[in-house]
Structures are given as structure tokens and as C-alpha cells.
Structure 1
Amino acid sequence: MNFGIMYVLFVYLVVIVLMCSNKFSIATCAVTCAVLLQLGGITTFNETWAGLLNSSVVMMASMFVVAAGLSRTSLLKKLSNNIIKPGASDTKIMMGLAFIIFMLTSFTNGTNSLNIVLPIIYTICKAQDRPSSKFIQNSAILCQVWAGLLPLGGNAGGYNMINQIITQLGGVGEFTYFTQMIAKLPLGIAVMAAVIFVNHRFAPSFKAEEYQVDLSRTVKDSALSPAKEKMAVIIFVGTIVGLVVMSLTGGDSTIPPLIGALLMVFCGILKPREVPNNMGMSVILCSVGMLPIATALVNTGADVLIANAIDKILTYTNSSFAVLFLFYFVSAGLTQIMYNATVLNIFRTLAVITAVSHGWNPTALVLAVTIGSGAAMLTPMASNVTALGYNAGKYNMKQYFKGGLFVFVVEMVAFMATVPFLFPLY
């Protein structure tokens, strides 16, 4: 093992220790990761801070501002009262939130969906004197699992890209428009049932007033005039419609949130000085700080080391269940300590190469990597959605890990019970 790989492992260890100490914010830990990688010469300056120009970061910051403007209206209270009746049990509250999340993730990504749902959770919990901690992580899990279910926008043409990768590597691309949807639907149903009926019961219980998160910070003493309230709702709805249109047409999805954020300021719903406090900087810094890990793995050859280790394990088994479980479990495990997009990009090509070299169906292995890397629910390092949920809920690492473990196992079992039969490896 070369120095570079050992150094990356050392950086991981430092970040995990800092997070587990509960003395530092997730943003501080993530930025520490980036700085140490640059300091050790593993990544260059441009590679380390490339995330600052990432479109996802721009979209997140803009959506935070749009959601902050919406949180000043009475719409959230009316919406929560119509969907979740006063005095509802925790199970019914979670059921209502699950319905809202499913609708939102049908048209936009998981991070945007959770941005919208967070102030709704806060409003419900404040009105019904319920602990937000029961619902924030579980909502983040649902946003992560359901995102990308429907073949819209990039997902609509994504199967063509996968087929192209498979073909270029010598295989036969058999992905269709609905392949990913067919594979994810039973898993999503299983996870939703686990969250609604079981998982929230074991979540930590904090007082609702402790959840003065960025999105709800401006709710107090911020009554809007009827005209401004209507304008805020129109801007919010227009932003969502814009995201849907961009998703369907393949346009630039950063434009609607940026326009929405500017209009919230121009229309006087948010004051200019309030914008920086409502941009979700903790989550953004977490995203920016952890993104260089992908480059570090490639620069040090750690990705090749992982690939060789998997190839050695495969020499001891020809079981299709064992092979699929290996790819799913390794992807799902690694995605907890590095961003899910990183794991997907590294292991998708490896999955295709492995399948082609053994004469297997690449579809099954690509699904194992895609769904496994999407099982980001145990740590804030797993994805933007989990970072947002972790930060908003003020959980510690132990609480967040325990809060996602049951659902993590449920999704893994659901995967092994369905995908090998729906898409046989050989």
C-alpha cells in the first residue's frame, strides 16, 4: 500500500474521529478533509475546491433561500393541517410526510425535496408539540430512496448512457426506459413501510424548539402582507414548475431556483442581509469538503486496489446471489463514508467490466451498484440529502447511524429478494 492511500485513510480516520466527538460541526469536519488532502499533495487546489463551482451547490443554496421565503407564509401551516390533521399520531404524521415526499421526488431531486419538507416538519412539530427528531432523518431517508424513481429529465436518457458504457466495454446494453424504476419500486415501498410503521418509533426524541434550523429561523416575527404572502407562494410554485420543466426537457436545473431566490429578495419577502443566513452553508461546505475524496481515490490508485480486491473475492464464488450481494454491499458500505455519486462513478464501470469478463448480464450488476450507492442513510458523509438531514436535526453520529441502520437492512433485504429474480445475472 503506497503512501498516498495510507494518507487518504488517515484523513478519513481524522474526519470520522472529529465527527464522532460531537465537538465540531459537520461543515468543519468536511472542510478539514479537503484541506488535509490538499496539504498532503493528494489533490491540487483546483481539484480540492472544484465543488465550489458545482451546479448542485448552486442549486442547493438557491433552494434554501426559496424555502426560507416560503417559510414566512401561512401556506405551510395550511398544507400541514390539510394533510396531517391536528392531534395525529406520529405514524400518521410520518405517513403524511411520506406522501408529500413521494410527490416531490417524482419531479425533483432528493435535496430539493428535503429543502421543501423541512419547514413543513418544523411547522407540524411546533403546532402539535412533537419532536422533530422523529421525522427529519426518516424524511431524509425517503427523499434519498425515492429520488430518481420516475424516468424524467436526466433519468429519461440515463439508460442510453448506461447502455453506451456497456457497449463500449464489450457487453450488450439491455437497460430500458423503465429498468431502474422496476428495480427501485419494490425497494421504495419496503423502505416507506419501514419508516412509517417502525423506524420513527425508535428515533431520538428532542424538543421541537431545539430545531431552529436555517429554513425556519425567519418564521418568528416575520408576518408578511397578504400581497407579499401570495407573491411568495407564486414564486415557490413557479420555481417547482420550472424545475419540472427543466427535468422534462433536460434544461439547466439551476436556473429556476436562482430566479426564485432573486425574486424572494426583489419582492421584499426576504431582506438582502437575511440571504446569507438562509443559504444552508453548513450543508454546502459539507458537500464541497467531501467531493475531493473521489479525486483522491483516483490519484492514489485506491480505486484500482478496491477493484482488485473484489476481483479476488469473485474467484471463490460463482453464485449469482453472492456476486450481486458483494457489489451491492461494497457500494452501500463505501457510500456511507464518501458521497454516493463518487461510489457510483467508480463502481459502475467496474461492474460492467466484471460482468462482461465473466459473460454475465451487466444490467444486474449495474443495478446493484446504482441502488447500493443510493443507500446513503447512515452518515452525513453519504450524500447531500443525509448531510442536510443530519445538520437540520442536530443529531450526533451515533444517533444518525442507529436511526438509519434498520432501514438500511430493510432495503438490502428487499434488493436481494427482488432484483436477482427481476434481472437474473445469468
Structure 2
Amino acid sequence: MVVQAVPVCSSTVVVAIDVGKTEFAFSVTDASRALLLKPRTGCPMTGSSLTRVVADIVDVLRVGAMVKVGIEAAGHYHRPLLHAAWPDGWEVLELNPAHVTEQRRVLGKRTIKTDVIDLQAMTELLLAGRGQPVRDRSLALGELTAWSAHRTGRVAIRTATKNQLLGQLDRTFPGLTLALPDVLATKVGRLVATEFPDPARLTALGSTRFIRFGATRGLQIRKPVADRIVQAAREALPAADAAVARAVLAADLALLSDLDAQVDQATDQLARILPSTPFASLMSVPGWAAVRAGNYGGALGDPTRFDNHRQVYRTAGLNPIQYESAGKRHDSVISREGSVELRRALIDLGMGLWLNDPAAKAYGAQLRARGKKGGVIACAMANRANRIAYALVRDQNTYDPARWLKED
């Protein structure tokens, strides 16, 4: 159930709070837009400071005042204030920074960004009834978001490390990628990168002993593969600074091993947490396992914030830019305004459907036959995945392929 903000009335008093890294600014305004407390900046982000601020606000309140506290989202910096010990009866709302920026433009101050002007924009939004009510966040959802973000970050670092590692391999063992197109995706490739960055050692070892070397480490190497790798070692022309590259390569391999372990740990944590969240039913969909479902849940957060799947799609910035005038309408590219994490999660869910669900495969083939490009098909699959995911989370049902045979 979506929670709506309490309507603004004549007794409403709004407290706008602009949060920084270690400080915050605030102002207090009534429904007639009269300042009850002038904007105050530089308030330390501490418990004692917040207590003094609350006391000052209480001193200027009239009897029967209905207080709305609006806090602009600022990454993780604003979170301590969201769940601070505000007085009973005060409504705490979270404001979208994009809405605050747009409101500054409405006020004619788009290029002037100060704490005071931000407070003015936030005050106008609160008096207009904007803002998302803050609810007690379940521990499971918080864990899901944290582990999803942790895994995503480690995967990005791992990708960069692999790219650097391959660059070092090209200097120490040029030509290896001709024998093994994807070195780091295979066990034998990892073995060569770790144990034989110097092709001269592998040349001296030969194919037969290389196969035995792998067997002692629990790896079965086929003779054609071994011959191909040893031949590449014989013909390799290492760079002059190959010795330095081998030292850097060893450090990168140690880092890569640690990153692999951290990614695996985060994946295990997502699999552990998901069953206790509203997103458990997503794993009943073909191609949606712990990682895809966990990334979607971590990016979406509390699903009760959304009235329908269209809101989720817009929040992800996947809706097309639309221009309509004089009865003519033109839809352009996707807006890309919104949550990058949610957009990536939905596209990934769509890819999972496209690769594993028969109905989605057929739909993708239809789009391809109509001449649609890959990016367009990916967005169409994300749209389909968004509707399926929203319905499953809302109804807490498992996936029924028969319900989604026809594309709406």
C-alpha cells in the first residue's frame, strides 16, 4: 500500500532541511509562507545540535500546528536525519533532489545554488504537498541494498583489474589470446597467467609436462589446447620491460583472487537475504537468480512507494522523451533521468528474460524481424521485465508463463 503525505492545511508548518556532509541548514515557514525561523546554516550533524534545533522550532510553533519536516535526499548523508528522534506527530518527508533543482528553476534561480535558495525551493515543494513519507525501513531491505551495492562495486573494480591484467599479459606473453581468446574466463588461462607469465618456461616444459602440471593441480588440459598454448609460447615476442610487467601481473592476480572471493561472498549474502524480502518471488522467473533479483530489490527499495509499474519505469529513466504540440507527438530516446542502479537492474532483468524465457525469446525475435536494433529490444525487454517484477512483488505470486505469453 502506497503511503501518501498528509494534505497541507492552514495550520501546516514546514521545516525544510538541506543536508551536507557534516552540517545541515534549515528554515521554518507556515502555510502563508511567513518565516517563523529565518534560514540557519552551519548546524553540526550531531545529536546535541539536532536537539537544540528541535527546541528552537517548538518555541515558535502555534498551538495545533501540523509540522512537515522535508529533508532533501543527499546520497547517504541525509539518512541519520530521516530516522532521528523527531517529536511525535511530526511528519518526515524525503524530497527528490531533481525536484528541488527544478523548483529552483521555477523560482528563476536555476544557476544560483545556495543553501538558502535550496531551502526556499524545498519549502515550496512541501507546501505543494510534495515529498515521500519516510517509513521504518526493514533490516532485510537495508541489507539487500548494501550487499547489492557492494557486489556491484566489486564487479566494476574486478572488470577494471581484468583489463589491466590483460594489458600486462600482452607485454609478458604476447599471442596468448590467439590460443585462448578469453584467458581469464578459463581455468587453463588462469593457470598460465599465474604460473607461466614467462613464455620461455612454458616452452621448456612442453605440452606433455604442461598437461601433467595441470593434472597435479586438479585441472584436466586437453592435448590440442596444450599444444596450441605451447606453440604460442614458442612464437611469443615479450616486450623489453616484460620482467616489470610480470611483477605487476602477480600483484593484479592476487587482487583479482580477492575480488572474486568478495563477489562470491556478496552473491551468497544476496541469496540468504532474498527469501526474507518481498522480492523472493522474483527467483521463480527463468533467468532471474539471486544476483538479478537482489540488484533489482536493492535498487528499488521499499516497493510500497510505487502505485504502479509505470512509476517504477519512469523512476529508472527508461521512459522515452516525449514532445507533443498541435496534435503531433514525437517520442525520442529514453530520458535517462532517475536511478541509474534501477535502470541497470531492469535492463539486466530484461536480458535474463530474453535469454531464458520462451515467450520473451519469441517477442525478441519478432522485434528483430521488424528491424529493431539491439538497444531498442533491450529496452522493450526491460519494460516487459518491469511489469512482471512489479506484479510478482505486488501480488507475492510465483511466475506463471501462461499469463505473459502475449505482449501488451
Structure whose CA Rg is larger: 2
TM-score by length of 1: 0.24
The structure carrying a bigger helix percent of its residues is 1
The structure carrying a bigger strand percent of its residues is 2
TM-score by length of 2: 0.24
Higher relative contact order structure (alpha carbons within 8 Å, sequence separation ≥ 6): 1
